[in-house]
Amino acid sequence: MKISRRGFFGFLAGFAAIGTGLSSWASSMKIYDGPVSDHFDGAHFFDPHGAEPRPVTDLVRWRLTRNPAQWPSHAPSGFSDEPPSSVAGTQVRFSYVGHASWLIQTAGLNILIDPIWSERCSPVSFAGPKRVNAPGIAFEKLPPIDVVLVTHGHYDHLDMATLSKLAAKFSPRVITPLGNDVTMKTGDAAIRAEAFDWHQRVEIGNGVAVYLAPTRHWSARGLFDRNKVLWASFVIETPAGKIYAVGDSGYGDGGHFRRVREAYGALRVALLPIGAYEPRWFMRDMHMNPSDAVKALADCGAEMALAHHHGTFQLTDEAIDAPANELVRAREAAKLPPEKFVALKPGQTFEL
């Protein structure tokens, strides 16, 4: 079978966007250089409570046998947010940008999580998963951004084009797990990236701090850099309480979420992914489905959850509306009131 150049790159770009590590035939990412620890062996990071990434043979099996649901080419959310310049005091305002991107406003600070305003989450601009709805906040409507949190290096979470635009317009601090700072600064020296290890605390100001928490995932941007940089979730300490922001995570036995509860205490809100989960035989170790996410909410002990990582980029095989529909069924099965786990659409907001 003859494959066109565009088709070949599209095939690889699709792999990269779901975090398979086949983003390109090579990687220019430098290797993180630091001391050996309980999750770094001197060359690669690992999760002592997690699972190894799926082998490439499983990836090829999925790509050759998959039967993905048909997504619409355009699925506007019907909402668009124009956030205030800031939110003072103990109020917290969440604006859902789309996919895993959030704007959190509190204590006079504006914080972005895993921002992606690009049309594709891909190592190339002409192929790979393309967004089916516009960002919930137009880039020119963003308030001054103080801090950006990037959970890990997969292309649907670490988007260099967006980070460069943010650096040029706002010059925010960018906080990320170890090694991802090299990716960012190699791509654009103007990005003010700061890298930290699991369990480290980073002072933001105005009574806000960020902790990096272990999460059940992995990292790669090319063929030869698998797990050479770290991944994490964030626990954001605010005057209104703690916010638990999970970018990507498998569920496993729920231990990661229970350990967050034990380490950080009461959580007001958890931002939990509910999409990119089919087929389960391939995705279960890296991405939660809605049923997993409901269990994760119970395990971490947050008062409520906001869902994300669905409905914007088709990364896996489920239908565009399957995560939101399955969340309703998972809530009902767990006898969880609807207001305890809410799925917003891009452009919708939630306030504490």
Give the count of domains, the chain. 1
The per-residue pLDDT for range 224-274, each reduced to its tens digit, is 889 999 999 999 999 999 999 999 999 999 999 999 999 999 999 999 999
Identify the DSSP state of 45. Answer: B
Q: Which alpha helices (H) appear in 40-110, and where do they start and end?
A: 56-65
Give the structural domain span for 202: 92-351
Q: Is residue 144 part of a domain?
A: yes
Quote the pLDDT of residue 4. Answer: 42
What is the spatial distance between Cα 211 and Cα 199, in angstroms, rounded to a whole number? Answer: 6
Is 9 domain-assigned? no
Contact 244, 267 (CB under 8 A): yes
User: Is 187 inside any structural domain?
Assistant: yes
Q: pLDDT tens for residues 310-342?
A: 999 999 999 999 999 999 999 999 999 999 999
Q: How confident is the model at residue 30 (pLDDT cuts 50, 70, 90)?
A: low
Give me the pLDDT at residue 1, please.
37
Residue 289 lies in a domain: yes
Within a domain: residue 35?
A: no
> Looking at the domain assignment, is residue 62 inside a domain?
no
Quickly state the pLDDT bin for 14 (edges 50, 70, 90): low
Q: What is the CATH number of the domain that holds 230?
A: 3.60.15.10
Answer yes or no: is 72 within a domain: no
Confidence of residue 302 (pLDDT cuts 50, 70, 90): very high
Write the burial class of residue 113 (CB in 10 Å: 0-12 exposed, 13-18 middle, 19+ buried): buried
Is the bond preceding residue 279 a cis peptide, omega within 30 degrees?
A: yes
For the stretch 127-145, pLDDT in tens is: 899 999 999 999 999 999 9
295 assigned to some structural domain: yes
The mean predicted confidence, pLDDT, of the chain is 92
